[in-house]
A and B are shown apart, each in its own frame.
Chain A
Amino acid sequence: MEIIDQHTKKIMEGCKERARDAGLSFDNESIEYIVTNQDLLELRPKGMIPTLYDYWIHDLEVIKGKKEYDLYPNNPYETVINSRPALSFYNDNNPDWLNVMIFYHVLAHIDFMQNNSYFRHTWDDDFVGMALADKRLIADFRTKHGRWVDYVIEFTRGLDNITGYYQVLSEINSPKKRTPNKIDYFFDVFLQKVKKVSIPEYLKEIDHYNRTLKENPEQAESTFISEVKNKHAEFENLFEKHLREIRPKAKDIIEYLIQNSSFLNREENEWMKSVMHIVRNSALYFEPQRRTKIMNEGWASYWHYELFLKDDRIKGHEIDFAKVNAFVTSIPKLGLNPYAIGWRLFQQVEEMADKGKISYEFEKIHDADARKKFDKKTGKGKEFIFNLRSNFCDFNFINDFVDQDFVDRHNLVIIGERINQQRMTKEYYIKSKKAEDYKEKIINSLIHPPHITVSHEKQEDGILSLEHHYEGKQLVPEFIENVMIGLEFLWGGEAQLETHLIKKGKPEKIIYKIKDRKLTKNVAS
């Protein structure tokens, strides 16, 4: 892997200027690498992060069931790495005009990743640098603990597709809470909820506090609290308990294990928690890319098209560009192309917003002709799509904007496949032209990991109890045993999982228990 030459870097800097003028925003620094096939072979299992921690499974080909692969690619195989500075990868023999096109595409990706709020938790970090530190730490652990490091990685990875990604985002976005002090606790919780005093009594206490404060502003707090303690012997204990209760809850199973597993909290096993943190953080880092694949590719395609055609440096290569662009953004006869759908959807939304069509006023109109002619000339299209790029993910993008107009305009259909026995062929036929079917098809193809939580109510006698919130799909039964064995290891004791398996088309509640590495399965009563 080497850095692109000065000539090419200069082209990139030119692209940056033009992209900024058009409204995109991204950091100044970026690093571009030339990669070979050999580099890619090593990068691919590591999600294109050159510094990701080593793990022996990366040396194998990971085989998945036929459909899982479509849904859960664990190898994002991408050109742009969302780090600070952003990295991107190139073939060493791209002609300049092609590099211009790719650079615009890349810059739009960088803009997307640095402005879309689903990436919020990645904004402050140089992920590649962090990964390098983590990799060294893991290598260091390996010299001390040998293969057990790999077991911890393996077992944590068994849970890393169900990290609390949304919980992490929501914590970042909610205002920071101040840890309450004893005075806060006394007035806000103790008097009101523990003692349940009457209002006059409450006011009396406030009065008392205010007097103390007036007499001696410096010492008021401690004087007042010691008085409280004299009066209520239980106060100190209750306050401690309250602090424990309001401590933020674990955001996912991995975090829960780190906080609560007696096995991991033994002194000799402390290192395992660092390994688990590393695995969890790497997994969280990859989440937003998966949730915004269509938008991200659509946005990048939109901008490489916009900016390339306006670029004065590439005169004479319009036809070459048209070829590559058509290859990238054509709608396939069969299948979904995220570039194509994303790009066209952005175009359509911009056009609609330009005409003021994204409004209640427009929604009210049912007359097809009037809908067609509707044009308020608001000119707000660009602003609107920039807004989408900041705040939307694939799900709401598709769900909000794929409508019958869009589907009809691009002849989007659902195609069925069936056997024709007479002709000994497989036939493809138009199964549906309805927007709702098309929308459903895309939404069903989007990543949606199972929702599994620690169930606190059912926790007893040191048994870790997990609950899978059934959403019409069972878990892959073949994989349950290994994940549970890992869970037992990390928890340091018995564990159970409540889930549903589909039997003859109906869900049936099942409880899996793991004890001494033996899995048992029982139908729940």
Chain B
Amino acid sequence: MSSFTKKNKTPDSEKIPRHIAEELSSNKVHAISLPEGIPFGSDLADQIYNANDLHALQSFDAPAPSYKTLKSLDELLERDERRQEDGFKRKINVGKIIKPGRGGSKQVVIIPTTTEDKFYHDNRVTEDESEEEQGEGETGESAGTAKGEEGDVIGERPLTSEQEGAGQGAGQGNGEEHDVGASAYELGKILTEKFKLPNLKDKGARKTLTKYTYDLTDKNRGHGQVLDKKNTLMEIIKTNISLERFDPEKPIDPENLLINPHDYVYRVLSKEKDYESQAIVFFLRDYSGSMSGRPTEIVCTQHVMIYSWLMYQYKEQALARFIVHDTDAKEAPDFYTYYNMNVAGGTKIVSSLKMVNEIVEKENLASNYNIYIFYGGDGDDWNTDPDAFEAEFNKIFSYVNRMGITIVKGGYGPSDRITEFEKFLKNKSIIEKNKDLVHLDVIDGEADDKRIVEGIKELVS
């Protein structure tokens, strides 16, 4: 084992990354915190009441709650809806907990969560003590034991590893998500109270939500799969320096360098944890010429909200795919691109549906995922073959858990005009025949955010 060097990022700059600093200085509570965990920001917690005999004497660990062992989610959510009818506030969130496992690995568990509201003392705020007064960079204190004098430093730990280990922090998420991510997170938190994914089913054996991918990330000395030339050269130079084979007066002659077999550094395949998703969500948007202005704004706003909500509530359980279309459909790599793509030519809605069906078929998504499709457009359509269009719809209905269609009126033509798309849906009675699978929401071009949220409610109800 000693010959393995662990993958470890060393800090490039002297400064603390912005998001860590923010996290440390913020006294906000993350909506879902780790019950057994140590609060982010401080490693210190006085856990008088967490200690218990079962653990201390018999190595029983408090069992982790898991989705399976708890009451069925549907039952609980149904109860929650009843609360609203009875005039009380809803109480259930479907959250996930990232449980730190052995050796720094994380396991994601989806569980319904709640709070039991009581009159508790609030330890987050204290009288006359703002953050600054706590002393410079001070992040917490604890009881403990140590030999030495007051002021002695008795230990330290790197900040970076904490960023990885602590899970819920704002520092999470990869780069491409982060643009939309940061504010979307907050938005999603609020929206979470309002929606849930309809018809969510267990698919296959994918509940554990963890799988591994293999990547050439670990280094090994002496043997391995791919030679890491840069590191090998460095090791060779180190060896030769310590053997004093370099003469500073003379130019280096590579012929004369001695090579210790141990100097070869190789990259080896290593197991990397990967999260698997339970749901896949397609966002479809018309970006044809007729959509310019308000309709695009509304569709994008609505999709941002849905996306934020999904990110927050189902983060590692929900994958998103993005497709835009005019007469042809095109997949966008991420939400950012999807959101910012500019207006192009004519309109053929069928092209986007065709693309979804192709993707689902090609990647065999139907058997493993809950599939959701959200479509947004102005209802304008140059469709010439209604039967082919219907065929695509029927294909979708064979696997989709819910399709939500939003039509924004008021682009081209008067706002009370029945659009081509609506006509088609009506003629073929697409909505009537598949009431549970497809919901339609028609929004006026002047609608405000509240109306848009209502729309989402309708789509996922």
Contact = CB atoms under 8 A, between A and B. Distances in A.
Contact of B119 (A76, A162, A297, A431): A162
B33 A41 contact: no
Interface in B140-164: 140-160, 162
B137 A421 contact: yes
Contact of A335 (B29, B46, B60, B114): B46
Contact of B156 (A147, A420, A502, A505): A420
A415 B116 contact: no
Given A41-B63, A432-B150, A433-B150, A424 B11 contact: yes
Contacts of B44: 334-335, 415, 417
B120 A476 contact: yes
Contacts of A78: 52-54
A449 B121 contact: yes
Which of B51, B125, B150: most chain A Cβ within 10 A?
A: B51
B243 interface: no
Contacts of A507: 127
B56 A483 contact: no
Given A79-B54, A147-B79, A411 B141 contact: no
A168 interface: no
A70 B119 contact: no
A384 interface: no
Nearest to B17: A424
A6 interface: no
B24 A419 contact: yes
Contacts of A413: 143-146
Interface string B70-89: 11000010010010001111
Contact of B57 (A162, A328, A438): A328
A56 B52 CA distance: 25
B245 to A, nearest CB: 34
Interface size class of A (residues with CB under 8 A): 35 or more
Contact of B48 (A324, A411, A446, A480): A446
B151 to A, nearest CB: 6
A60 interface: yes
B53 A502 contact: no
B47 interface: yes
B145 A410 contact: yes
Contacts of A333: 144-146, 154-155
Nearest to A161: B118
A63 B145 contact: no
Contact of A70 (B29, B49, B115, B156): B49
A102 B141 contact: no
Interface residues of B, number: 95
Given A44-B63, A61-B111, A151-B86, A157 B160 contact: no
Given A328-B57, A419-B159, A428-B155, A474 B144 contact: no
A22 interface: no
Interface stretch (B100-108, B128-136, B200-208, B319-327): B128-136
B35 interface: yes
Contacts of A419: 16, 24, 137, 139, 159
A483 B14 contact: no
Contact of B143 (A94, A425, A427, A438): A438
Contacts of A65: 29, 33, 124
Contacts of A77: 52, 54-55, 62
A428 B143 contact: no
A29 interface: no
A441 interface: yes
Nearest to B121: A473
B121 to A, nearest CB: 4
B144 A335 contact: yes
Given A57-B116, A161-B120, A413-B144, A502 B125 contact: yes
A60 B16 CA distance: 38
B343 interface: no
A42 to B, nearest CB: 8
A471 to B, nearest CB: 8
Contacts of A57: 114, 116
Interface in A338-392: 338-339
Contact of B97 (A61, A67, A482): A61
Given A336-B143, A424-B160, A66 B53 contact: no
A478 B124 CA distance: 12
B120 A421 contact: no
B92 to A, nearest CB: 7
Nearest to A55: B116
A413 B147 CA distance: 9
Interface string A39-80: 011001000000000001101111111111111111011111
A71 B120 CA distance: 10
A411 B39 CA distance: 26
B82 A147 contact: yes
Given A61-B65, A419-B24, A158 B118 contact: yes
Contacts of B88: 151, 485, 517
A423 B156 contact: yes
Given A71-B121, A473-B122, A429 B130 contact: no
Nearest to A157: B116
Given A59-B76, A158-B117, A297-B51, A427 B153 contact: yes
A250 interface: no
B69 interface: yes
Contacts of B46: 70, 335-336, 441-442, 445
A506 B127 contact: yes
Contacts of A418: 135-139
Interface string A396-420: 0000000000000011111111111
Interface of A: 37-38, 40-41, 44, 56-57, 59-74, 76-80, 89-91, 94, 98, 101-102, 105-106, 109, 147, 151, 157-162, 290, 293-294, 297, 300, 324, 327-328, 331-339, 410-433, 438, 441-442, 445-450, 452, 468, 472-483, 485, 502, 505-507, 517
5 contacts: A57-B114, A66-B39, A91-B58, A420-B156, A479-B120
**Closest 6 CB pairs between A and B?**
A79-B53, A479-B117, A419-B137, A66-B39, A482-B117, A59-B71
